[in-house]
Every structure is written in C-alpha cells, then in structure tokens.
Amino acid sequence: MSAPRDATRLLGRRTALGLLGAGALAMTAACSDPARQAVRLGTAERGGFFHEFGELLAGVVREDDRLPFVLETEATRGALENLAGLSAGRLDLALSLADAATAAEKGPLAVGKVYENYVQIAVPQSSSIRRVGELSGKRISFGSAGSGTRFAASRMLQVAGVAPQSVVDTPLPVLGLLDAMTDDRIEAAIFVGGVPHPPVDPAGGHGPAGGIRLLDLAETADGLRDRFGPVYQPVVLPPGIYGSTSPVTTIGISSLLLVRPDLADVVVADVVDMLLTRSDALVPAGALGAQYLDTRSLVYTFGIPLHPGAASAYRAGHG
C-alpha cells in the first residue's frame, strides 16, 4: 500500500456458519482453538487503547462458541502499519484512526466507527511550553513510524507552523513516556488514547515531579478542521484529568474498525453482531471516552464504504 497522503462536545461514556476469507484460512494453524478458524486483527502497541479494545473484542468472540472463527490479535506499531497490513492481505481486520484511513490512497472497507480517541500533548507541569507553536527545537515523542499518532501529529505541527525537521524526534512506546519526561529525555509527548490515558496518568505518583500538564489544542483543532475537515473535533476535558484545575481542549479523532474487502460477509456480520450485542464488554478500563457501539453511530465512517457483510448486518435491524 502507498503511504497515506498526509487526522465541541463534552465527553460521554457509554451468526451463521460460512467460509472465511483466504487470509483467515491461512491463519488456521496459528489459531489457539484448532476447531475454529483464525481471523487476524491488527491493533497497536501494547498498553494503548487500540490493543486493549482489540483484546476485549477478541475475548467476546472467543466466548461465543457458536462462531466458527476466533480473532487473533496482533500488536503492531499502529494505524499506518495496520492499513498497510490490510492492503497486503497480512491482516483481516484492523483498527485505525479515521484521519489516516480516509487519507489512504488504496482504501479499505469499514466494519464501523467504534469509539473516539483523543490527541493529547503532555509536558511536565514545570515546563515553560504553553502552545503547540513552541515545540520547535524540543525533544518530542510522537509515535513510531507506523503509528497513527505520528500521522496526526505531523498535521498538527504543520498547522501550528512547526517544521518537522525543527523538532528532535524521540520515538518511545506509550508505556515509557512518563519515565522519559521524568529523566528529561523528552520535553513533550504527543499521544492518542482515552482520557485519562492510563499509561500516561501520573495519579499514582509516577512521572515528573509536580505531574504533567496538557497543552490546550483549541487553536490547533480549528486549524485542522479548516484544512482537513470534520475528521478532527475539538473536545473539552473537564478539570481534574491529570490533576488539571481548569478545562483543556484536546482533539477527538474517531477510531474505525476496518476490514479487507475479501473477508467473508458472514464473518464481518458476526463481528458487527458482537459490537452491538456485547458493547458493555468492549469499553477499555480506566479511561473515559465516547463509545459509538450502536447502529446509528457505527455506520458513520467518514465516507469509507461499509463491507457488504457489515451493511447487511445493519440493515437486518440491529440496534
């Protein structure tokens, strides 16, 4: 697959047998249950929201022994790697941020919009950095080469007038961000997840002295919407998150569950059924966020066509 061409609401919380696609059949030997076919689901790095959601979805599928398949999750570097994996047939299903998915030159099909992620920029509480435009020359972690975080962050820096080559790119896993801010290896961290994002929450006393502070992204959100459209939404976080004393604006980007076109309709329809009937079991723990697991929300995929199996499941009257 070619690389992608370029990512105010208050928060809320909220089967039939058939043949599998060729890629899923190839995964049979790797399946933990030899009586059921394996469908490979690309998530993202461990500790992140994508991976946790993927594990929860795989769990509810595995619990339903009426289904002729199981989901085998694969930890990846993130949305860009997932999109490439779908295009190459290495993945059957994958999670992606909507901005990267809609920019992909060879687009996948969609199962549905599943929940909202939030772009956040954290700095140590003692930092003098107050705006995105002040990140020039700073040591920043904003995701690996295959992550959707990097895609969104590059657009954010562009809108803020920060040249990518002017920042000191310091890629780190999300689980290492607090330690890196503590020992001054990075001066800022751009990450995408729920709020608070558990790996970056210093509530237990972990992280830099005095805690962390989020940069307000209201100005950046407006610039992103003007340039790239409503795939980016300003989202106001209430006081108290990460120890804040006042509201702060982040940027919401919807997460999409995507599928390669040749995966069997019946498999995709079964996945939709799990999203709709087991939604209570698909909320990652420890993070507040907007969930979209109802028919009206799931089908809004920012112009990415639904897989026929998903479309038929929604037409069947779920929700």
Which of 253, 284, 299 is where one domain is finished? 253
Do 238 and 123 share a structural domain?
yes
271 close to 278: Cβ distance less than 8 angstroms: no
| 280-308: average pLDDT | 83
Highest mean pLDDT: which of 27-36, 107-116, 159-168, 262-271? 262-271
113 close to 53: Cβ distance less than 8 angstroms: no
Burial class (CB in 10 A: 0-12, 13-18, 19+), 312: middle
Asked whether residue 4 is assigned to any structural domain, the reply reads no
Whole-number pLDDT of residue 240 = 92
Which of 237, 253, 269 is where one domain is finished? 253
Which of 210, 237, 253 is where one domain is finished? 253
Q: What is the pLDDT of residues 14-58, one digit of tens each?
A: 233 233 333 433 343 344 566 899 999 999 888 778 899 999 999
Do 248 and 124 share a structural domain?
yes
Residue matched to tokens 């209201």: 218
Whole-number pLDDT of residue 146 = 84
Band the pLDDT of 205: cuts 50, 70, 90.
Answer: confident
Type of residue found at 237: L
* Number of folded domains that form the chain: 2
- CA dist 186 and 71 (Å) reads 36
- CA dist 111 and 297 (Å) reads 12
Do 226 and 209 share a structural domain?
yes
221 close to 231: Cβ distance less than 8 angstroms: no
Do 171 and 88 share a structural domain?
no
Do 155 and 82 share a structural domain?
no
189 close to 122: Cβ distance less than 8 angstroms: yes
Query: Which ranges of the chain does DSSP label H, i.e. alpha helix?
Result: 22-26, 49-63, 79-88, 98-103, 148-160, 177-182, 218-228, 265-277, 295-298, 308-315
Do 270 and 299 share a structural domain?
yes
- CA dist 191 and 188 (Å) reads 10
Whole-number pLDDT of residue 32 = 52
CA angle 2, 168, 147 (to 5 degrees): 35
Answer whether residue 174 shows pLDDT above 90: no
- The enclosing domain of 168 has a CATH number of 3.40.190.10
Count of beta carbons in the 10 Å neighbourhood of residue 25:
13
Asked whether residue 80 is assigned to any structural domain, the reply reads yes
Do 89 and 184 share a structural domain?
no
Do 148 and 92 share a structural domain?
no
Do 277 and 157 share a structural domain?
no
Range of the domain at 169: 118-253
Band the pLDDT of 286: cuts 50, 70, 90.
Answer: low
Asked whether residue 3 is assigned to any structural domain, the reply reads no
Do 263 and 242 share a structural domain?
no
Band the pLDDT of 290: cuts 50, 70, 90.
Answer: low
Do 168 and 143 share a structural domain?
yes
